Amino acid sequence: MESDCPWYDGNSMEKKTWPLKFLVFAAMMFVASLALPLLAADEPQIIPLEQIKPGMKGVMYTILAGDKVESIELEVLGILPNTLGPKQDIILVVLRGQLADFNGVVAGMSGSPVYIEGKLAGALSLRFGQFSREAIAGVTPIQNMYDADQPSAAGTQRAEGVPPQDSQAASATATQIAVPEEMVQRAGAPISGGYLTKIDTPLVFSGFQQEVIQRFGAQFAAYGMVATQGGTAEARADDAQLKGGDMVSMVLVKGDLSLQASCTVTAVVGDRVFVCGHPLFSFGNVSMQLARGRVVTTLASTFNSFKIVNAGGVIGSVTQDRITAVVGRLGAAPRMIPVELTIATPTREKKFLFEVMDHSKLTPLLVAIATMNGITANTAYSEGMTFQLSGGIDIEGHSRVNLENMFAPTDQAVPDGMWMAVSVQNIFTRIFTNPYERAKIEKVTLRVDSTPERRTATTESAWSEKSEVVPGEKIDVKVLLRPYRGAPFMRTVPIQIPSQTAKGPLRIVVSDGESLNRMSRLFSQGPQGRLAGLEQLITLMNRERRNSRLYVTLIQPTPTLLVEEKELPNAPLSQINVLDQRRTPGSSLLLRESTAGEWSLPLNQVIAGQYMLMVTVK
C-alpha cells in the first residue's frame, strides 16, 4: 500500500504526491461538514417531532457576546405533549458543557436554534426554575413555529382596539408548566415539583433614568420581560444578513430615547424570520419595526442571567406575535409615530425627538414613560415642582386634540411627574380605544414647563350677596381660596342669570376643573359610547375643563336632552316625546337637570375642592 497519493501539477503537468494521512484528514473533515447544520440556509432541513427520542444528543446555537455564535451541547430528556394547547408539544432538554454550567439558561436565549442529528428541531423557549443547578429548558418544535406565520382574518393590529390573540396565547404567557419528576431526575437535578416558564426577554432601555425603568418595568414584567439598560448600535451593511443564532430587536421606541425587546433568530426562510419560540405580547397580527440586535455581553447570575443587547439598523417588520413564535419579514419597516417632547425650566429648555410604536395597548404607555423620563432626566428637576403641560395630538382627517393642564406635587409617595404621565397615558388611551374608527396619529407635540414651587389652592368657602335673583340679573360670586402654606385670598367671579331662567331654586356650583369633568361625563355630556364618531369625541375632549381654572356653574332643575354630543337644555315636553319614540341605541339621553351657564377664572395654580350655593329665581 502506498503512503502517498499521486496528483498532477496543473501548470507543469508534473506528477506529485499527497501524504496519505493528509487525505484521510481532509476526507474526515468533509464528512463532518455534512453533519453540520446550515444555519444560514434559506430553508434548513428539519427533524420531525416524532423522530426525537429521549437520550438523543444535539446542539444549541446562540450569541453570548459580540457577533460570535456559540454552540452549546444538549441532551433530550423527553417530549411534553399538548403542553401549550392541542398539538402544541414541548421538547424537554438539558444543556451541557462549560458555557451552560456558567450561564445557565439566559434571558435573550429565546429562539436559539436547536439542532438534533444535524437537523433543525426547534427553538429554545422555556426555562426550568430560577436557581436550578441544571440548565433544563423547553424547546418549541420548529413546525409549530412555522405554523405561526398564518395571518388571521382579523387584520393587522395597530390601533383597532382589542388585539386578536391565539386561543391559548394569553394564558400561555404566564403559565407554569409542570415537569415530570422522572425527566428532571434523568438530568441529574435534585429538584422535584419544578416548573417550566417562558424565558425572559431582555427589554432594553436606552436614555432612560433608572427610576423610570423601575417604575414602569413592572408593567412589562407581566409579559415575561426583564428590564435592562443598554443602547443602540450604528446601522451596518450586513444587518439584514441573518442566520440562526443571531439576535434581533423588536423596536418599541427609537430616537433620542430607545426601547426594544430582543430575541434570538431560530431560522430564516426566504424573507421570513422566525424568532423567540414564544410570544412577545401575544398580540397576534401585529406591525412593529424589526432591527438587528448586537450583543454587548451576557451577565451571568444564579438567579437570572441575561444578555445586554444594543439595537442596530432596522431591517424589516414583525408581522406575527403568536404562542409559538414571533415572525418577521425582511424589507420595508412599518411607520412609527413621531413625538416631539420639550422640557422647559425657568433657565433652560431641552428637546427630545423620538418615535413610538403605533399600537392601542402600548402607545399610551410608551408616551407616558417618555414624558416621565423627560421630566426626571432634566438636571433642574427636583421634587416639589409644578408642571404645566401643553401641546397637541394631530390625527389624520380630524381636528387636533389640544393638551393643556397643570399638575402640582402632592404628599403621596410617588414622583411628582407621575400624575402628568398618567394623564397623558389616559388621553392616548381614550383616543386609541374609541369604538368608532382607528385613529391614525400623524404627530405628537408635548411641552412641559416646570416651576420650582407647589402651586395649589383649595376652595374653602363661597357666597353671593343675594339669595334671590331675577332672570337677566348680574351677580358676583365671592370665592375664598387657601394656597399651599400661604395666606387665604379671595376672587370674584361675575355671573349672569339667563334671561329665560324659570322661577324656582337654582344651584351655583363652585368647583375645580377635574370635579366638573367627572360630573360632566355623567351629567352634561353623557357616556362616550353615545357619541356619533371620533370627531365628536375629540370635540368633547377639547371642551374638558382645565385644573388651573376656577369654575362657577349654574344648574337648574329642568330636563336636558343630549343628542349625540349636543346639549339641549330646557327641552320642551313635545320634543322629548318625539325623540323618545324614535330612540335608537346611542341616539339621545334625557337628564333631569340642565346647565344654565358656566364661567371660569384662570388662576395659574392647581385648584381643588367644591362649594355649593343656592339662590331663588323670582
- Write the pLDDT tens digit of every residue in 601-611: 999 999 999 99
Nearest to 107 by CA among 283, 243, 308, 277: 308
pLDDT at position 567 = 55
Distance CA 376, CA 160 (A): 32
- Residue 42 has a pLDDT of 60
Please tell me the distance from the alpha carbon of residue 382 to that of residue 416, in angstroms, as a whole number: 9
Cell of 405: 393642564
What DSSP letter does each residue of 357-380 carry, written as one string?
Answer: ---TTTHHHHHHHHHHHHHHTSTT
Q: How far, rounded to the nearest angstrom, does the alpha carbon of residue 155 sit from its chain's CA centroid?
A: 19
Q: Could you report how far apart the first and last alpha carbons of the chain are, in Å?
A: 129
Rounded CA-CA distance 178/84 in Å is 12
What is the per-residue pLDDT for 410?
86
- Pull the grid cell for residue 38: 446550515
Nearest of 122, 131, 246 to residue 190 by alpha carbon = 131
How far apart are the C-alpha atoms of 267 and 325, rounded to whole Å? 11
460: phi then psi, degrees, rounded to nearest 5: -100, -35
Model confidence at 525, pLDDT cuts 50, 70, 90, reads very low
Distance CA 570, CA 565 (A): 16
Q: What is the dihedral of CA 11, 17, 18, 20, to 10 degrees?
A: 160
Mean pLDDT of 279-295: 93
CA 162 from chain centre, in angstroms, equals: 14
Q: Which cell numbers hold the place of 196?
A: 417550566
What value does the mean pLDDT of the chain take? 82
Cα 579 off chain centre by: 43
pLDDT digits (tens, 9 = 90+) for 1-22: 444 444 444 444 444 554 555 4
Average pLDDT of the segment spanning 105-121: 94
Q: In angstroms, what CA-CA distances link 338 with 38, 256, 316, 516? A: 40, 11, 18, 33
Give the model's confidence band at 134: pLDDT under 50 very low, under 70 low, under 90 confident, else very high.
Answer: confident
Instruction: With a cut of 90, say whether residue 227 has pLDDT above it.
Output: no
Across 91-105, 121-135, 339-353, least confident range: 121-135
Query: What pLDDT sits at residue 20?
Result: 54
Model confidence pTM above 0.85: no
**Structure confidence at residue 32 (pLDDT):** 43
| Contact yes or no for 334/318 (Cβ under 8 A) | no
388 bridge partner residues: 406, 449
Quote the pLDDT of residue 38: 45
The region of weakest confidence among 126-140, 196-210, 286-300 is 126-140
Mean pLDDT calculated for residue range 501-525: 79
Q: Give the ranges where 105-186 is alpha helix by DSSP (H).
A: 142-147, 169-174, 181-186
Model pLDDT, residue 151: 59
For 574, residues 6+ apart whose C-beta sits below 8 A from its C-beta are none
Q: Which of 285, 276, 289, 271 is nearest to 223 (CA)?
A: 276
